[in-house]
Structure formats: C-alpha cells, structure tokens
C-alpha cells in the first residue's frame, strides 16, 4: 500500500509540476528567469514544511497522508535537478541571470518553508 501511495503521489506531483511550470514559463516568456520552476519549488517548500510541522506540533497526520503528499506528490512536484540545470545554463549565458535565479529559489524557498513552519505550528517562534 505504501508503494502505491508513493507512486500515485509522485505521478500527480510530476504532472502538476510539468503543467504549472509550462503555464507560468509560457505566460512570462519575456521573463529574465524561468519563474515556473521557482514557483513550484517555493510552493513545495511551503507545503512540505506546513505538513510536517502541523503533524509534529498540532495534531498528528496519518503516516499515509505524509507519505502520499510529502514524499510522493511534493517530492515529485519540486525539482532540484531542473533548478540546478537552469541555474547553470542561465549563469553561462548571463551570470547575473543565473545568480538572480539561484538566489530567488534559495531565499524564497527558505522563507516559504519558514512560513509553513510558523503556520504549521500555529504559533510564532
């Protein structure tokens, strides 16, 4: 059952990442960086942090829920390999673009995870 949940979550996460990234990147084709990847990574960082801290500090979520959404869906939804590839390509083309893209993912991802932790805990600190 765990493999089925992980697989279904992973398939759904991969499809969501593909379509959201494609939509955002095509909507902002004039953009300086591929914001679709930034968006999925930031949203994924927030959601994973929120789910884990909610389960740890407020009420325990079922392990199958965490497996499906955390490891499966969000594991496939976020994309470190695409992020690093795009950062390298942008850096080779225009170093400042690569840096902006890299920093956007890291800083916004961290802030989103922090916000998820705060909201997941239900309190500040």
The annotation places the binding site at 75, 78
pTM here is 0.85
Residues annotated as binding site for Na(+)?
75, 78
Write the pLDDT tens digit of every residue in 2-30.
999 999 999 999 999 999 999 999 998 77
Those residues whose C-beta lies under 8 Å from the C-beta of residue 27, and which sit 6 or more positions away, are none
Dist CA 125 CA 110 (whole Å) = 15
CB atoms inside a 10 Å sphere around CB 95: 10
User: 58 phi and psi, to 5 degrees?
Assistant: -115, -60
């Amino acid at each position: 059952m765990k493999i089925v949940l992980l697989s279904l979550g992973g398939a759904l996460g991969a499809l969501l990442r593909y379509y959201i990234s494609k939509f955002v990147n095509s909507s902002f084709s004039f953009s300086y960086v591929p914001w679709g990847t930034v968006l999925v990574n930031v949203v994924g960082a927030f959601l994973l942090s929120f789910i884990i801290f909610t389960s740890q500090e407020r009420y325990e979520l079922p392990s199958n829920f965490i497996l499906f959404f955390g490891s499966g869906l969000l594991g496939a939804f976020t994309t470190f390999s695409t992020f690093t590839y795009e950062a390298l390509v942008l850096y080779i083309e225009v170093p400042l673009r690569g840096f902006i893209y890299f920093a956007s993912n890291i800083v916004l991802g961290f802030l989103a995870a922090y916000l998820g932790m705060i909201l997941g805990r239900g309190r500040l600190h």
